[in-house]
Structure 1
Amino acid sequence: MEFTAEQLSHYNGTDESEPIYVAIRGRVFDVTTGNSFYGPGGAYALFAGKDASRALAKMSKNEEDVTPSVDGLSDKEIETLNDWEKKFEAKYPVVGRVVS
């Protein structure tokens, strides 16, 4: 499936009848099974319905970092993002891609 950023934003966990999606580098993961983390009130709820690439790379929970942009990240931050991506791949199914 292909999602625009707008469409992805609807899968943010606020509607219990819908899955929860988080994107990394444009790949959309179904993180519904991790709803205690990504659902409302969860530690990573601000990532739900968004591409959280930059925030994951920077290990940041700042709203301004929840963006797909990886421009200007250090090698260490890219490595951290790669690690997060591997964890997501092992744990959550990929359900689509974010398109512009």
Structure 2
Amino acid sequence: MKKLTTLFALATLATAANMAQARDLGPDEALKLRDAGTVQSFEKLNQAALAKHPGSKVEETELEEEYGRYIYQVELRDAQGVQWDLELDASTGQVLKDHQDD
């Protein structure tokens, strides 16, 4: 029983540590990073996402800092009504993830 409790405690700490590695950035901080040139313009990042799914529309965006890297998350809906979730490196515009939402 003691091993199970210890294992559960370690799993909980690992989950909390992973969650602490990502943080959402508010609009003011996101604009400061854009203005400083740390991240690309949001229009340019949206264009990069839309290029992966032509004819789609941007539904939601979010900027996060994960493990010291700025990640721009975009939700798109294509002409067929399919929702896509993309993650881009906000500094380079490189598409890191592109998958259909469940």
With normalisation by structure 1, the TM-score equals 0.26
- Structure with more contact order per residue of length (Cα contacts < 8 Å, sep ≥ 6): 1
Question: Which of 1 and 2 has greater Rg?
Answer: 2
